[in-house]
């Protein structure tokens, strides 16, 4: 039985309150986790401020680049440990965790090391009427101690996406991973020690949201900024708390993303892409497509092809290299997804595929499994079409014109992502730019250049991260303005 402790000011800290980390594969206990109370969170924040006020706050960009690269090297050395922890917590297949989660977690540190090494700063010369001039240049300074609250769906990838730029800018962090996925965050603390990161720079506290570590971070008066990925409702709560100190926030929240499929698409390539967009990580990716609009001439063909692909999907033990889909994150989340299956039935949906729970006849029947599901026949105002489900389910609907589908796809309070499938270059540009989202993909899905802006609109978030956008969020920029007078003639 593993024992996941808090990591504060360079030391491992137990607490009297613990909870169990449960495997979604078979319901077994993965680890006992020590829950941080208010006092431990306060200790972590103070440790972070001491680090920033001390030697860490005086490090140069080049020194921090070296630290980030050492972290990446140590993560790579322990890649097998991270893979095992990720799979134990989430139940995601080896084929996904070994290709996406762990490599991307390592890449985040290397990418932000490279970005920091070449990061520009503004410099301007202002000529004045009297012949003098002013030289203006920007200085980048850390914010202080950043609260990092990360989700359970891509726990290592999204945690490192925040921690890497925060440390690159000279901040300290107080990290709270999801209570469902504490394993990789605990390993990351071990890596920080091994990589020689100074005490107090990386602090880890375990716990829940309300009346636990999450709330204690978001309400702490000395937290300098908060970055959060998770549910829109939770983001609203954190934003209220952050408003008390007028703290900067960066939120990546929920989505009810649209896929738009035109009849002129490369059909087989589109089907391959949509199987990923619908069912990667059991549909538990904020960028997954839950609303699928298919141009009428290929609507029936699409429904048939997706149903046939689902029939041959391998839903099995995560360690099997051929497994394509694992369980949901927890029994609680499975119950939520199943409640939407029932809601869709009450709303009159036609089930093209799935709609239930697979039965294995072994320990997996104690896990959090559901079938990949495709429904059709609902109006755009049905709750199943409008509310985020966050599982392996989508609603498919035909459309007849470009203008119609743009209006329908944008008719949502969310605004995170869209994917458009067409071989018409002009249409691809028109439709992708018309989407009210943070990212529009054309003939692909889940492809990212980490230097580009990433975030959402509406209920999908606030702010942008990625590349220089991350460095600017995690920094305090000071403009230095120096007046330079004309020299007297000699």
What whole-number distance in Å separates Cα of residue 327 and Cα of residue 44? 34
Report which DSSP code applies to 100: I
Q: What is the mean pLDDT of residues 108-112?
A: 98
What whole-number distance in Å separates Cα of residue 129 and Cα of residue 143? 37
What whole-number distance in Å separates Cα of residue 55 and Cα of residue 40? 23
Q: What is the mean pLDDT of residues 128-155?
A: 97
> Collapsing DSSP states into helix, strand and coil, what is residue 291?
strand
Report the candidate in 444, 394, 396, 427 with the shortest Cα–Cα distance to residue 270.
444
pLDDT at 488: 64
β-partners of residue 204 are 7, 175
Cα 315 to chain centroid distance, Å, stands at 24
Average pLDDT over the chain, rounded to whole? 97
pLDDT at 489: 58
Radius of gyration of the chain (CA): 24
What whole-number distance in Å separates Cα of residue 145 and Cα of residue 47? 9
Would the pLDDT of 476 be above 70? yes
* CB neighbours of residue 371 within 10 Å: 18
Would the pLDDT of 164 be above 70? yes
pLDDT at 244: 87
pLDDT at 446: 97
pLDDT band at residue 73 under the 50/70/90 scheme: very high
Q: What is the mean pLDDT of residues 427-456?
A: 97
β-partners of residue 127 are 133
CA torsion 413→418→421→426, rounded to 10°?
Answer: 90
User: DSSP assignment of 399-444, as one string?
Assistant: E--HHHHHHHHT-SS--SEEEEE-S-HHHHHHHHHHS-SSEEEES-
Give pLDDT tens digits for 345-390: 999 999 999 999 999 999 999 999 999 999 999 999 999 999 999 9
Residue 258, H or E segment: strand 257-261
pLDDT at 487: 78
pLDDT at 484: 96
pLDDT at 182: 98
Would the pLDDT of 331 be above 80? yes
Q: What is the mean pLDDT of residues 2-13?
A: 98
Query: What percent of the chain has a predicted confidence (pLDDT) above 90?
Result: 98
What whole-number distance in Å separates Cα of residue 366 and Cα of residue 26? 5
pLDDT at 1: 81
Given 169, 265, 286, 288, the catalytic residue: 286
β-partners of residue 482 are 135
pLDDT band at residue 486 under the 50/70/90 scheme: confident
Cβ atoms 287, 417 nearer than 8 A: yes
Given 252, 295, 388, 465, the catalytic residue: 252
Concerning whether 303 is annotated as a catalytic residue, the answer is: no
Query: What percent of the chain has a predicted confidence (pLDDT) above 70?
Result: 99
Cβ atoms 330, 24 nearer than 8 A: yes
Cα 420 to chain centroid distance, Å, stands at 22
pLDDT at 478: 96
Concerning whether 286 is annotated as a catalytic residue, the answer is: yes
Would the pLDDT of 481 be above 90? yes
């Amino acid at each position: 039985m593993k024992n996941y402790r808090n990591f504060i000011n360079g030391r491992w800290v137990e607490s009297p309150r613990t909870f169990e980390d449960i495997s979604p594969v078979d319901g077994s206990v993965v680890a006992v986790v020590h829950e941080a109370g208010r006092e431990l969170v306060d200790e972590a924040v103070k440790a972070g401020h001491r680090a920033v006020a001390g030697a860490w706050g005086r490090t140069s960009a080049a020194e921090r680049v070296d630290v980030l690269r050492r972290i990446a090297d140590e993560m790579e050395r322990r890649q097998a440990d991270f893979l095992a922890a990720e799979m134990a917590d989430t139940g995601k297949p080896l084929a996904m965790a070994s290709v996406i989660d762990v490599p991307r977690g390592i890449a985040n540190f290397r990418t932000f090391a490279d970005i920091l090494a070449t990061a520009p700063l503004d410099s301007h010369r202002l000529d004045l009427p009297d012949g003098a001039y002013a030289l203006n240049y920007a200085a980048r300074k850390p914010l202080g101690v950043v609260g990092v609250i990360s989700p359970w769906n891509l726990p290592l990838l999204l945690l490192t996406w925040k921690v890497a730029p925060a440390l690159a800018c000279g901040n300290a962090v107080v990290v709270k991973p999801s209570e469902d996925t504490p394993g990789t965050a605990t390993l990351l603390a071990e890596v920080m020690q091994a990589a020689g990161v100074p005490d107090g720079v990386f602090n880890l506290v375990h716990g829940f949201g309300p009346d636990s570590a999450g709330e204690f971070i978001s309400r702490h008066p000395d937290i300098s900024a908060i970055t959060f990925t998770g549910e829109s409702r939770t983001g609203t709560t954190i934003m209220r708390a952050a408003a008390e100190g007028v703290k900067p926030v960066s939120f990546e929240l929920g989505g009810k993303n649209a896929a738009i499929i035109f009849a002129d698409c490369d059909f087989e390539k589109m089907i391959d892409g949509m199987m990923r967009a619908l069912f990667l990580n059991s549909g538990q990716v904020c960028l997954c497509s839950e609303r699928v609009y298919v141009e009428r001439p290929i609507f029936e063909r699409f429904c048939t092809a997706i149903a046939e692909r689902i029939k041959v999907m391998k839903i099995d033990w995560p360690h099997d290299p051929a497994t394509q889909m694992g369980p949901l994150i927890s029994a609680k989340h499975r119950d939520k997804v199943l409640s939407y299956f029932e809601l869709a039935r009450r709303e009159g949906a036609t089930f093209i595929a799935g709609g239930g729970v697979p039965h294995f006849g072994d320990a997996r029947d104690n896990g959090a499994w559901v079938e990949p599901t495709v429904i059709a026949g609902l109006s755009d105002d049905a709750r199943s079409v409008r509310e985020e489900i966050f599982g392996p389910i989508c609603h498919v609907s035909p459309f007849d014109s470009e203008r119609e589908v743009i209006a329908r796809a944008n008719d949502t309070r969310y605004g995170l992502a869209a994917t458009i499938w067409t071989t018409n270059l002009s249409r691809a540009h028109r439709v992708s730019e018309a989407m009210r989202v943070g990212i529009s993909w054309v003939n692909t899905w889940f492809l990212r250049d980490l230097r580009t802006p990433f975030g959402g609109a509406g209920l999908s978030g606030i702010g942008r991260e990625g590349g220089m956008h991350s460095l600017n969020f995690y920094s305090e920029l000071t403009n230095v303005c120096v007046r330079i007078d004309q020299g007297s003639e000699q």
